[in-house]
Amino acid sequence: MSTFKFESCLAMPIRGLISLRQIEGADYHAQAQLLVYFDRFLVEQKPTELHLTQQIIEDYEKTLTHLAPRGQANRICVVRQLCKYLSRSDPMTYIPDSWRSPSSQAAFAPYIYSEDEVRALLAEAANLPPLGTLRGPTYQTLLGLLYSTGLRIGEAIALNLTDFHRNDNRLFVAQGKFRKDRWVPLSDSTAAALVQYMDRRRQTRPNAPDAPLFLNQRGNRLRHCTVCHTFHRLLQQCELVHDGHPRPRLHDLRHTFAVHRLLAWYREGGDINAKLVWLSTYMGHVGIHSTYLYLRPTAGLLEQVNSRFHHHYLQYLTSHTTQGDTL
């Protein structure tokens, strides 16, 4: 928890809330990260009030409209916890109403990128300024890794140099979601792209084995908010930002990986039901039901499903016609 830095006027009580939750035995790591976003909002806004008012909370809510409904709900939920904590010593603190989180079905509306769109994003990432620096290769490799492995963005930016095992073509993801460690095998092309990036990355300090794999321009580990901001700019350059629904997001690369992997298995003629278990394990899910949330019916998938159904139907007709002729 010491990795989180709070700098607003409420830095001390925020740290107090986190310490209290830790003493109570709660794993408050994810919630602390969400409080970092609120802390940065306060730093930028510089509120004149000494306590949290309704106006401050409502202004913060307006900054969350780019997030999915569940993401908005999670951020307001931890802010509400902070408000309740502050109200013990400051009764003037405004406590927002509970935010009713939408159902999983309503919350998940991913944008599934086409292969051409992914290639365009990677090409734009490679040309990020300043040209000739590590920034372009970093974002090109990071986005390519997210698409080809389905890693969570938090898992990807937490990778260290030593986590890539080039001799085995695999990554070690330490302390992923739910504090789970796992190995992620890489395709030959993905491993080759990482090797190429690593050879250039090691020319930049820090380059000790436990140094971050992906660096920002200051030589520090990439931050989630910075990656999201840069990705949004790339979407604009590729003309993928629109007012329709769903809107393209960084996390949708993980959804796209799952859909494209399923599509490839359909084309290979494999046993989809059996391989879904592999996909669930590979993506670090606690169960296959979580994996189902990532699968969306695209035109390509529906075509393969219809083709497979048609094939089995013809086999069924042929089999029963032959039996009828025999009789």
Annotated active-site positions, please? 152, 177, 251, 254, 285, 294
Distance CA 76, CA 46 (A): 19
Burial 11-40 (b: 16+ CB within 10 A, else e): eebbbebbeebeeeeeebeebbebbbbbbe
Alpha helices in the chain (DSSP H): 11-23, 29-45, 54-62, 69-87, 104-107, 115-126, 135-149, 153-157, 188-201, 224-237, 252-268, 272-282, 288-292, 299-326
What residues does 171 pair with on adjacent strands?
A: 164, 184
Q: Specify whether the CB–CB gap between 158 and 140 falls below 8 A.
A: no
Two tokens, residue 22:
């830790």
**113: buried, middle or exposed (CB in 10 Å: 19+, 13-18, 0-12)?**
buried
Place of tokens 């930028």: 44
Beta pairing partners, 215: 221
